[in-house]
A = this chain, B = another copy of it.
Amino acid sequence: MGSEVKEINLKALFIGDKSENGYLYKDILSELIDEHLGWRHNYMPQDPPEITIEDQQSDSYRQTVTRMKNVLGEVSTRLRTHSVPWHTAGRYWGHMNAETLMPALLAYNFAMLWNGNNVAYESSPATSQMEEEVGSDFAKLMGFENGWGHIVADGSLANLEGLWYARNIKSLPLAMKDVIPEAVADKTDWQLMNLSMEEILGILKKFPDRIDDIKSKSARSGKNLQKLGKWLVPQTKHYSWMKAADIIGIGLDQVVQVPLNNKYRMDVVALENVIRDFAKKEIPILGVVAVVGSTEEGAIDEVDKIVALRKKLQKEGIYFYLHVDAAYGGYARSIVLDEDGSLIPYEKLTSWYTEHGVFTKADGMISRDVYNAFAAISEAESVTIDPHKMGYIPYSAGGIAIKDIFMREVISYFATYVFEKGAEIPALLGAYILEGSKAGATAASVWAAHHVLPLNVTGYGKLIGASIEGAHHFYDFLKGMSFTIGDKTVDVIPLIHPDFNMVDYVFKERGNQSLAAMNSLNSAFYKASSFTAGCLYDNGYITSHTDFSVADYGDSPIAFVHDELGFSMNEWNTTQKVTILRACVLTPYMGDQKEFDKFATQIQLIFQQRLEGILK
């Protein structure tokens, strides 16, 4: 493989907004399929073909082919009529979607013909090996030296798996008290509930013959779930955290939402207060979730400060499991890593970016806060990372990385027919994961992408850099923009300067003092700029929206609604939500200011027309 590339050209890696690389895609695919067909042909070439030419000439064969073609024709019609044109270079400013990488699509299509099942090596020797390597990539990307990882169907499941790890590991000390009391005799229950993961696994490793016994008394038995304490998430948490707490059995009553600071990051001072308040009541903290790339704001929690807080509290006998939900932002850690996967010092980022063409303007794209947060992820116990988000891989491809490969032993299972405990088979994946059968094709897809685009500043860093710069262009474009609609003036006001590549914004009529009226305006704008307006195929500007409600966000939006937009506190208290427009900027083409400007004029015109349609 090792072909040297002086500089990756991202334009060679996508089919293209106007199918510019369509023929390249088809040529490579055709060659790959031929290689597969030849493989079938040549396995035991002496065997007779089961489908004869006579079969192929029969009426029933021809009728069946006709039916198949008609059905696929209907699939094509439906998809062309009702799909989202997020391949566009500059007209889709909505959900977390864009073109996906050609190598990922091609590898998926190809590997699918073999249909490996990565639940067990036996079913998928080639793709199981690839998943093992991809898992290793995830761990290395997060800075886990002794880590491990694997592909998960999606980020919600990876979050659930992270919580499963936390629940089962944190429950071990109580099981040890039962099975090997001598090992923990010197500790109170409070101390047991505040052992660090290293301490817990350290004790476990000392009793290799008792591991199965201890596991059987852990949370997997159904015992002690309510003793494990609280699961802390920022108010920006993805809703999958609520589902996960429900499913895993600790329950929603144990979930505590931590307020945000005015950058929509978890407020670490508030976090400390929450933890100390529970500690006073001897209620342990099962774990804390830091979000790296919040779903609705792209905010990046200050993982470094959370880690520092944990170190401080640990000295006082308080410890919590730390899971980083980097489903969205995980791949972006590439942008601070050099070719060996080592952290580039912050001061040297600019020169690396200039050398590798990561940004057209290298300054100020990665703030020190964001850098510090990325750097500190290596201190977490587990991390969710979704290839199908910033990995530009087609659905479904989520992922998880864990800090210490030994953590697997706490959740592992063995099923006779797929694997034998202790058997020397590589990658007994089904024993160590929440899921069962899983497409080997996904592993081939992610593996191919990682080999074309290395997980550092020269590869994925460059692709994600283009998306970040595109977001900055969009933010600069919106900020200060205003429209005259008859005798009204409408301003565009972004929520926050993007930590990453998401830009939230609202339209506000100047002088309007009703939050409900502003919400209506933005809802109406969304409706005109989404599938609710009818056919997406002739919609020239598409966006998404979200609501920040008191139920989810508490009073965190006041900084924006009151302080910045000027609505009265009474408005906030009455209306209880603010409707926000939301653009996740994944397009790799808008990092170039000149190209962005070509679309900017069009978009501004559409804004004007839509506002006129709503307000006149």
Contact = CB atoms under 8 A, between A and B. Distances in A.
A101 to B, nearest CB: 9
A166 interface: no
Given A5-B64, A47-B91, A246-B220, A122 B530 contact: yes
A605 interface: no
Interface string A132-169: 00000000000000000000011111001000100010
Interface stretch (A271-279, A430-438, A485-493): A430-438
Contacts of A311: none
12 contacts: A11-B51, A15-B37, A30-B30, A48-B595, A75-B444, A82-B125, A83-B125, A117-B388, A220-B246, A220-B252, A395-B440, A396-B438
Nearest to A396: B439
Contact of A395 (B3, B39, B437, B599): B437
A342 to B, nearest CB: 23
A60 B7 contact: yes
Given A5-B64, A413-B243, A437-B154, A50 B16 contact: yes
A66 interface: yes
Contact of A12 (B64, B156, B413): B64
Interface in A103-124: 103, 105-117, 119, 121-124
A192 to B, nearest CB: 19
Number of copies: 2
Contacts of A126: 78-79, 81-83
A154 B436 CA distance: 6
Contacts of A396: 153, 396, 437-439, 442
A572 to B, nearest CB: 17
A265 interface: no
B111 A74 contact: no
Contacts of A89: 47, 50
A67 B21 contact: no
Contacts of A436: 154-157, 238, 240, 398
B6 A60 contact: yes
Contacts of A20: 49-52, 56
A70 interface: yes
A531 B423 CA distance: 14
Contacts of A107: 72, 75
Interface in A415-437: 415-417, 420, 434-437
B252 A249 contact: no
Nearest to A239: B415
A30 B26 contact: yes
Contacts of A130: 78
Interface stretch (A299-307, A366-374, A446-454): A446-454
Contacts of A76: 32, 35, 110
Given A6-B59, A394-B441, 12 more contacts: A1-B67, A7-B60, A16-B49, A19-B41, A21-B56, A47-B88, A75-B447, A108-B112, A219-B249, A238-B436, A247-B248, A417-B545
Interface residues on A, range: 35 or more
B72 A32 contact: yes
A387 to B, nearest CB: 11
Given A47-B88, A61-B11, A75 B448 contact: yes
A456 interface: no
Given A89-B47, A129-B78, A154-B437, A112 B109 contact: yes
Contacts of A68: 12-13, 28, 102-103, 452
Contacts of A114: 79, 83-84
Contacts of A22: 33, 37, 40
A403 interface: no
A263 B249 CA distance: 36
Interface stretch (A221-229, A316-324, A345-353, A509-517): A221-229
B122 A95 contact: yes
Q: Which residue among A43, A439, A548 has the maximum number of chain B CB atoms within 10 Å of its CB?
A: A43
B540 A112 contact: no
Contacts of A187: none
B437 A65 contact: no
Nearest to A84: B123
A378 interface: no
